[in-house]
Amino acid sequence: MLIATVLGLVALIAGLVLGWPVLVLLSIIFTVVQAIMLAAKTAVERNDVKLSAKLAAKEARRRDM
Q: Give the Å distances, CA to CA, from 23 to 41, 46, 53, 54.
A: 26, 34, 45, 46
Give the pLDDT score at 51.
96
Mean pLDDT for the chain? Answer: 89
Is pLDDT of 9 > 90? no
Q: How many domains does the chain have?
A: 1
Residue 7, domain extent: 2-64
Q: In angstroms, what is the C-alpha Rg of the chain?
A: 21
Q: What is the mean pLDDT of residues 34-53?
A: 94
**pTM exceeds cut of 0.75:** no
Residue 8: pLDDT band by 50, 70, 90 thresholds?
confident
Is pLDDT of 16 > 90? no
